Amino acid sequence: MSIVPNATHEPGLRSWVASANQPQTDFPVQNLPFGIFRPAGSRERFRGGVAIGDQILDLGSLNARKLLSGAAAEALTAAAEPSLNRLMALPAAVLGEFRAALSGLLRSGSPAVAQLQADLVPQSAAEYGLPAQIGNYTDFYASIHHATSVGRLFRPTNPLTPNYRWMPIAYHGRASSIGVSEQEFHRPCGQSMPVGAERPVFGPSTRLDYELEMGVFIGEGNRLGEAIAVASAEHHVFGLCLLNDWSARDLQSWEAQPLGPFLGKNFATTISPWVVTLEALAPFRAPLLRAPDEAEMLGYLDSPEVRAQGAFAIELEVYLQTATMRTRGAAAERISRANFRDAYWSIAQMIAHHTVGGCNLLSGDLLGTGTQSGPTAAEAGSLLELSVGGTKPITLSDGETRTFLADGDRVELRAACLREGFARIGFGTASGTVLKALSPAI
C-alpha cells in the first residue's frame, strides 16, 4: 500500500539552492512539492513549479531545456501545464521517477546548475493559482477529538453519533469557492435561529469560524461503479496540502438538519498553494490510533498495513492576526496546534468508503479531512471548540478577545513534519482574511 523512504529522503542531501539548506525551511531538497504559479503582476501563463527553499523551479522553463528523458520527461511536460491534473493522473511509479529526476537536478553537485539558475523565481515574487482544476470536493469528519468536543456542546451525555466509529462521515462541498492562500472573502449572510426565538432572522453570520484541516488531492481516478480497496487506496493519492474550510456556525446549525451543510460552508475554502507528495511524506508515517476496546472495523475499511502505518505525523498550527495587530505591525499569534496523526480515520479509509458505493474519483478532486483536533483543549482546531461554543472567549496577548472571527481577522494555517534523522518537511501556509459582509439583494 505505502511508499517507503528512498534515496530522495536521505537527510544528508543538500541543494545548490542555498535557502533550501536552512534548518527551518519548509522546502528542502527532500520535499519538492508542486504548485501552479506565474510572476506576480505579469500576464504570463500559469505553469507548474516546484518549491525549493525560498525559490520556485519553473517547470515550464525546465521543460523547454529538454534535460530529462523517458517517463520523467513525460511527467515534466504534464507538470508544465496551467494545472496539475494531467500530472496527478500519472501512475505512482512515473511520479516517483520524476521526483527522483528533480532531486538529482536540484541537489548539490548537479551538472545542470548553470542552466537551472535562470529557471528560479523567488516565491516572494510569484502569484499562485489553484494546483488543479477541482471538479469535486468532499469534506470528511475524521478527527474523533473534534467530533466529541463539538458533539458535547449539543449532546453532553452522548456526544458522538452512533455511526461515527463505524464509517468515515463526510459531505459533498462546493468546489467553485475554493481559493488559494491569501484568499479574501466576505462574511456570508443567511438565516439563523437565535436562542429562544420562534422564527429565524436573516443577516451576516455572527459566528464565523475557521477549520484546521488537511487537503488530499486525488491522483489516479477510478471508473464509475468500481470501488477502491483500502489496501490500494493510497495509490490514488497525489499529495496533501493545508485546508481551511471556513464555517458560519450560526447558519450551519439552523440549516444542517436534515441534509447537512449548505450556506454555512459554501462561501469559501482556502488551501495552501503547494501540494506535498505522498512520497515526500513516507518517513513520517504512524500507526492508526485505536483504543483497545474499539469495535472491530468492517472488512472493507480494515487492513494490517492501514493499522500499522495508515496515519501521518504532521504538526499543525493556527495563527491569528487581527486588524488591530496589523495596524500596530504586530505578527500573527498562534492560538492552537494539533497533529494529523491523531485522526480517527486514515486517508486510505476515507477513499475506500468514498468509492465503496461506486462513486468515481477524478484526478484533481479534493478531499478535506475535517477539522483536526487533539485530545486536549489546547489542541482544538476551531474557535467553536476553543471558545466552548462561544461561552468562553479566548484572550490574545494584546488583550483582544475572540469567540468567533471579526471582520479584518486573518487566519493562517501552517504545518510541518518533524522526525529525528530526517529533513523537516513543511507545507507553506494557507491564509485567508475576513472582509465585511456585502449588502444582500433583498
Quote the CA–CA distance of 105 and 230 in Å, as a whole number.
Answer: 35
pLDDT at 161: 85
pLDDT at 55: 98
Quote the CA–CA distance of 20 and 39 in Å, as a whole number.
Answer: 20
Please enumerate in sequence order all residues whose Cβ is within 8 A of that of 169, keeping only pairs 6 or more positions apart, or say none. 140, 141, 161, 163
pLDDT at position 193 over 80 = yes
Q: What is the DSSP string of 259-277?
A: T--STTTTT-EEE-S-BEE
* Contact indicator for 100, 10 with CB cutoff of 8 Å: no
Quote the CA–CA distance of 243 and 414 in Å, as a whole number.
Answer: 10
Environment class of residue 219 by beta-carbon count within 10 Å: exposed (0-12), middle (13-18) or buried (19+)? buried
Quote the CA–CA distance of 180 and 429 in Å, as a whole number.
Answer: 10
Would you call 418 helix, strand, or coil by DSSP? Answer: coil
pLDDT at 442: 57
pLDDT band at 142 (very low <50, low <70, confident <90, very high): confident
Environment class of residue 391 by beta-carbon count within 10 Å: exposed (0-12), middle (13-18) or buried (19+)? exposed
pLDDT at position 1 over 70 = no
Which among 138, 146, 178 has a CA at the least distance from the CA of 368? 138
pLDDT at 60: 98
The residue type found at 157 is: T
pLDDT at 441: 60
pLDDT at 164: 87
pLDDT at 258: 83
pLDDT at position 3 over 80 = no
Quote the CA–CA distance of 321 and 190 in Å, as a whole number.
Answer: 26
pLDDT in tens, 250-290: 999 999 888 889 999 999 999 999 999 999 999 999 999 88
Matching fold, domains 7-129 and 137-435: no
* Contact indicator for 55, 120 with CB cutoff of 8 Å: yes
Overall CATH class of domain 137-435: alpha beta
pTM: 0.96
Please enumerate in sequence order all residues whose Cβ is within 8 A of that of 225, keeping only pairs 6 or more positions apart, or say none. 358, 360
* Contact indicator for 65, 115 with CB cutoff of 8 Å: yes
pLDDT at 401: 98
- Over residues 67-82, mean pLDDT: 97
pLDDT at position 2 over 70 = no
Which architecture, in CATH terms, is 7-129?
Answer: Roll (2.30)
pLDDT at position 357 over 80 = yes
Q: Are strands 183-186 and 425-435 parallel, antiparallel or unpaired?
A: parallel
Quote the CA–CA distance of 120 and 222 in Å, as a whole number.
Answer: 36
247: β partners: 209
- Over residues 71-84, mean pLDDT: 98
pLDDT at 259: 85
Please enumerate in sequence order all residues whose Cβ is within 8 A of that of 94, keeping only pairs 6 or more positions apart, or say none. 71, 72, 74, 75
Would you please indicate which residues are annotated as catalytic (active-site) residues? Answer: 146
Which among 114, 91, 88, 89 has a CA at the least distance from the CA of 33? 88
- What are the boundaries of each domain within the chain? 7-129, 137-435
pLDDT at position 156 over 80 = yes
Residue 203 or residue 160, greater confidence: 203
pLDDT at 62: 98
pLDDT at 253: 93
Q: What angle do CA 51, 70, 114 make, to 5 degrees?
A: 45
pLDDT band at 293 (very low <50, low <70, confident <90, very high): confident
* Contact indicator for 32, 51 with CB cutoff of 8 Å: yes
pLDDT in tens, 378-427: 999 999 999 999 999 999 999 999 999 999 999 999 999 999 999 999 99
